[in-house]
């Protein structure tokens, strides 16, 4: 580009010098001999002369010197014809002059016009003494007209230029010294090569050229094209600004530019395109506005930028260095070649800055200075579509134009899953939000890891979550919630220090200070009523534990470590509790404690039945809780101890009270009443709550009554509400009673 500046300037100076000095010399000749003095033009009086010479001096030095082989006056006394013309116009210092040569010229005195129909050559800066150390600028043309009154010189014919570092040509040219404007009328072409070693040549083409010397500006109309090897700038009306003999700026309307190299190309355009050049002629920067567009192509991606304004900066090798887009900016990057093909990316923001890697082939980083949206468009049917909105965004790229990391603040993300295979339900859309977001990407351009901090929220279908920090790991399809984590859906909620959620299955693992709430399952009874049990009731099931896992859509729930579950007045404690909601089963392990409220209709006071055991399983279909590993049942006024106890819940609607309990192996039953105590032992016992009846059998059943004494038999039945005792014995074994004497 610096070649274009010097070329254009030298061509302008060449024509300007010729015209200006010719005009100056002619004016001085006319002043000196107008009307022409007989003593100065005595040869004219005879009508012809040979080896004619005329000169003009000022302050003792020659400023104009005209020589002609032949000089004659035509029949029209006001017209003169010169042959073999050599016009020397000396510079102010007197050490150089501009030389104009022509085989033939005609001067029309009345009109003040000098015209040469033949070839004219102008050579600028000829040394007054000795030979030039460099190639001199020369201009060749024909049909030149010079107006001595205005100083304007013009031709409508082809003109060519030769100068030290190039050449040029145009059809038709004119110069007006009063405005110091040079105009090339059509088919303008300038070629220039910088003297700097290794510099690239430039070609400037235009329909018309206007050089305004005072402003050091060149206007190219109605079209212009500047070519420097693979770099091209085109436009409609184009203004070129010169500085110290070099092109420093190109301002083009409806401009467009391109730079094409192996495996890399850059194209840009705008309604107005402003290109700045360095002192060495390289493109330094490009500004386009409005309707600015940029396309950058490499082997790995095509990146397009659209904005109201785009500013481009280039390095010393003419490679794109940075891009700054302002005003409704849209940047789209489409991957090429790589397999699997990464998703395309679209970034929208008011202000966006791009930094390119050295060489300008690939993006290094992207940053928004205002709110933006980043979209990931799937390139395959099995890829999700994602959107990320944030107040500000930072994107880092790796080799191959692959996005490497993403950072944003006050961000919202949305993920739209791909269509589900035929016959499978369509997955729900998901969204997140947080104050901070950091994401990393895998080689395929998919999000590999996304961390969100401060006020993290998550939503997928009916599922919701919030936490101080959220971490998405796409490879594992897992979301990690920590710091006051909470997750909920229509069926309930879970809070913990840490929650690990499997996005694909919906399974989750909650750890640390777990608290959950689940709506109860309420299957209908044949008669339309509702059965109440450990997993039923009108109220939700609450739970706390050190850890909780949920699988198969919250149908298999496992509470681990200090587990406590309660619903209304019913409560279960254990080291671990497993809930199978689908099959309506529950299992508690180690240090089991259950508390069951006697909520029968019409009860005036609240009473509870508690059981402690090593293990417990409950099936809602049988309404049976089986305690093992050593069990102790406490109900109002009675305690049952045994190796195992089976507790049955009442079948009445909306009641979860104990109906009966069966105890086995090492049974001990203690009953306390005001003024009375009973203790029964056996291998098997049955306790019926409503009847207040206890049955002992197996293993030598024995009842010790503080009022009646000891009774043994094959089967003992007593009613705790009164004094009835039924004793059954085998034929070969009689019942044995030892009664206490009343005092």
Is the pLDDT at 534 greater than 80? The verdict is no
Return the minimum-mean-pLDDT range out of 7-16, 187-196, 604-613. 7-16
pLDDT at 433: 94
| pLDDT the model gives residue 383 | 79
pLDDT, residue 26, reads 36
Task: Please report, to the nearest 10 degrees, the dihedral formed by the alpha carbons of residues 374, 475, 462, 346 taken in order.
Answer: 10
Per-residue pLDDT, averaged over 269-282, amounts to 85
36 falls in which pLDDT band (50, 70, 90)? very low
Q: In 231-384, at which residue ranges do the beta strands (DSSP E only) sit?
A: 231-235, 238-243, 246-261, 264-277, 283-289, 292-298, 301-307, 309-314, 320-335, 344-356, 363-368, 372-377
Residue with tokens 């110091």: 180
**DSSP 8-state code for residue 401:** G
Using the predicted structure, report yes or no on whether residue 108 has a pLDDT greater than 50. Answer: yes
Instruction: Give mean pLDDT, residues 283-308.
Output: 88
pLDDT of residue 530: 43
When pLDDT is averaged across residues 237-257 and rounded to a whole number, the result is 84
Contacts of 507 (CB under 8 A, 6+ apart): 501, 549, 550, 551, 552
Cα 712 from chain centroid?
86
Which pLDDT band holds residue 291 (cuts at 50, 70, 90)? very high
Q: Among 201-205, 266-270, 336-340, 351-355, which is the least confidently predicted range?
A: 336-340
Q: Report the pLDDT value the prediction gives residue 397, as an integer from 0 to 100.
A: 85
User: Among 255, 180, 164, 253, which residue's Cα sits nearest to residue 214?
Assistant: 180
- Which residue is it, tokens 């309990």? 661
Q: What is the DSSP letter of 724?
A: -
What backbone phi and psi angles, to 5 degrees, belong to 136? Answer: -85, 155
User: What are the backbone angles phi and psi of residue 503, rounded to the nearest 5°?
Assistant: -65, -35
478: left (phi over 0), alpha (psi -120 to 50) or beta: beta
Within a 10 A sphere around the Cβ of 14, how many other Cβ atoms? 25
Mean pLDDT of 380-397: 88
Residue 216 backbone phi and psi in degrees, to 5:
50, 45
Of 25, 120, 34, give the one whose Cα is nearest residue 65.
Answer: 25
Q: Report pLDDT for 209.
A: 86
Q: How many residues does the chain have?
A: 743
Q: What is the pLDDT of residue 35?
A: 34
Q: Is residue 13 scored above 50 in pLDDT?
A: no
β-partners of residue 362 are none
pLDDT digits (tens, 9 = 90+) for 398-427: 877 778 899 999 999 998 888 888 888 888
> Across residues 133-140, what is the average pLDDT?
72
Quick one: pLDDT at residue 537? 60
Question: Taking the CB of residue 166, how many other CB atoms lie within 10 A of it?
Answer: 23
pLDDT tens digits along 212-237: 877 878 899 999 998 888 788 999 99
Q: How far is CA 485 from CA 178, 465, 565, 600, in A?
A: 83, 7, 20, 39
Instruction: Grade residue 543 by pLDDT with cuts at 50, 70 and 90.
Output: very high
Of the candidates 330, 339, 337, the residue with the CA atom closest to the CA atom of residue 304: 330
Judged by DSSP in three states, 307 sits in strand
Are the C-beta atoms of 698 and 683 separated by less than 8 Å?
yes
Indicate if the pLDDT at residue 178 is higher than 80.
Answer: no
Q: Looking at domain 519-738, which CATH architecture does it have?
A: Sandwich (2.60)
- Going from N- to C-terminal start, the domains of the chain cover 519-738
Q: Residue 496 corresponds to which tokens in the numbers above?
A: 């913990």
Residue 734: DSSP 8-state: -
Six-digit token string for 579: 């809930």
Residue 393: its pLDDT value, please?
Answer: 92
- The residue written with tokens 């240090």 in the block is 591
Rounded to an integer, what distance in angstroms lies between the CA atom of residue 480 and that of residue 472? 6
User: pLDDT tens-digit profile of 455-500?
Assistant: 999 998 888 999 999 998 877 888 899 999 999 988 889 999 999 9
**Left if phi > 0, otherwise alpha if psi is -120 to 50, otherwise beta: which for 262?**
beta
pLDDT of residue 731: 41
pTM summary value: 0.70
Residue 73, pLDDT score? 74
Whether the per-residue pLDDT at 40 is higher than 60: the answer is no
How does the average pLDDT of the chain come out, rounded?
80
* 195 has pLDDT over 80: no
As a three-state string, the secondary structure of 545-568 is EEEEEEECCCCEEEEEEEEEEEEC
pLDDT at position 22, please? 36
84 φ/ψ sector (left φ>0, alpha ψ -120 to 50, else beta)? left
More confident residue, 316 or 227: 227
Closest CA to 592 of 568, 569, 576, 603: 576
Quote the CA–CA distance of 248 and 280 in Å, as a whole number. Answer: 10
Burial class (CB in 10 A: 0-12, 13-18, 19+), 358: exposed
Helix locations, 501-621, DSSP H: none
The CA distance from 582 to 597, in Å, is: 24
Provide the pLDDT confidence category of residue 34 given band limits of 50, 70 and 90.
Answer: very low
pLDDT beyond 70 at 743: no
């Amino acid at each position: 580009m610096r070649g274009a500046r010097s070329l254009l300037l030298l061509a302008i100076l060449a024509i300007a010098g010729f015209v200006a000095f010719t005009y100056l010399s002619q004016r001085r000749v006319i002043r000196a001999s107008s009307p022409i003095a007989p003593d100065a033009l005595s040869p004219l009086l005879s009508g012809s002369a040979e080896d004619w010479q005329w000169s003009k001096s000022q302050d003792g030095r020659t400023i104009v010197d005209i020589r002609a082989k032949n000089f004659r006056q035509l029949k029209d006394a006001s017209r003169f014809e010169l042959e073999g013309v050599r016009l020397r116009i000396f510079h102010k210092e007197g050490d150089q002059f501009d030389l104009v040569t022509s085989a033939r010229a005609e001067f029309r005195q009345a009109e003040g016009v000098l015209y040469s129909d033949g070839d004219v050559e102008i050579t600028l800066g000829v040394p007054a003494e000795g030979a030039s150390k460099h190639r001199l600028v020369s201009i060749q043309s024909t049909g030149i007209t010079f107006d001595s009154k205005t100083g304007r010189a013009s031709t409508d014919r082809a003109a060519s230029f030769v100068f030290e570092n190039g050449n040029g040509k145009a059809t038709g040219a004119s110069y007006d010294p009063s405005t110091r404007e040079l105009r090339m009328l059509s088919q303008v072409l300038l070629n220039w090569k910088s003297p700097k070693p290794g510099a690239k040549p430039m070609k400037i083409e235009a329909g018309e050229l206007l050089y305004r010397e005072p402003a050091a500006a060149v206007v190219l109309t109605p079209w212009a094209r500047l070519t420097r090897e693979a770099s091209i700038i085109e436009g409609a009306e184009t203004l070129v600004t010169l500085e110290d003999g070099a092109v420093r700026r190109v301002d083009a309307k409806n401009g467009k530019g391109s730079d094409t190299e192996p495996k890399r190309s850059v194209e840009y355009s705008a309604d107005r395109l402003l290109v700045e050049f360095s002192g060495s002629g390289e493109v330094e920067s490009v500004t386009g506005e409005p309707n600015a567009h940029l396309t950058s192509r490499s082997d790995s991606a095509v990146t397009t930028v659209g904005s109201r304004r785009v500013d481009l900066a280039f390095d010393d090798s003419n490679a794109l260095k940075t891009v700054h887009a302002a005003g409704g900016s849209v940047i789209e990057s489409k991957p090429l070649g790589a397999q699997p093909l990464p998703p395309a990316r679209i970034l929208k923001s008011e202000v966006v800055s791009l930094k390119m890697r050295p060489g300008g082939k690939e993006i290094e980083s992207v940053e928004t200075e205002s709110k933006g949206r980043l979209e990931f468009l799937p390139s395959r049917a099995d890829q999700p579509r994602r959107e990320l909105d944030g107040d500000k965004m930072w994107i880092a790229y790796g080799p191959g134009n692959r996005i490497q990391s993403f950072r944003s603040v006050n961000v919202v993300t949305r993920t739209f899953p791909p269509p589900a295979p035929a016959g499978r339900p369509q997955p729900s859309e998901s969204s997140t939000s947080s104050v901070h977001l950091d994401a990393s990407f895998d080689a395929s351009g998919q999000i590999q890891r996304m961390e969100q901090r401060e006020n993290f929220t998550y939503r997928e279908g009916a599922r919701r979550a919030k936490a101080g920090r959220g971490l998405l790991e796409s490879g594992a399809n897992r979301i990690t919630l920590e710091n006051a984590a909470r997750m909920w859906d229509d069926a309930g909620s879970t809070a913990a220090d840490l929650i690990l959620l499997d996005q694909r299955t919906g399974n989750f693992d909650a750890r640390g200070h777990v608290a959950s709430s689940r709506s109860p399952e309420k299957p209908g009874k044949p008669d339309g009523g509702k059965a109440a049990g450990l997993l039923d009731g009108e109220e939700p099931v609450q739970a706390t534990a050190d850890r909780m896992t949920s699988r198969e859509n919250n149908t298999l729930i496992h509470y681990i470590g200090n587990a406590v579950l309660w619903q209304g007045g019913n409560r279960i404690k254990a080291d671990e509790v497993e809930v199978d909601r689908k099959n309506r089963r529950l299992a508690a392990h180690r240090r089991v404690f259950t508390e069951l409220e006697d909520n029968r209709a019409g009860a005036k006071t609240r009473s509870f039945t508690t059981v402690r055991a090593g293990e417990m399983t409950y099936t809602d279909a049988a309404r049976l809780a089986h305690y093992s590993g050593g069990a102790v049942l406490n109900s109002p006024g009675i305690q049952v101890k045994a190796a195992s106890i089976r507790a049955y819940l009442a079948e009445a609607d909306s009641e979860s009270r104990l109906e009966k309990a069966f105890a086995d192996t090492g049974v001990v039953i203690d009953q306390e009443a005001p003024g009375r105590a009973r203790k029964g032992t056996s291998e098997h016992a049955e306790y019926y709550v409503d009847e207040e009846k206890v049955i002992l059998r197996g293993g030598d059943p024995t009842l010790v009554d503080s009022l009646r004494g000891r009774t043994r038999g094959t089967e003992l039945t007593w009613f705790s509400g009164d004094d009835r005792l039924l004793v059954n014995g085998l034929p070969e074994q009689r019942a044995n009673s030892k009664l206490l004497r009343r005092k």
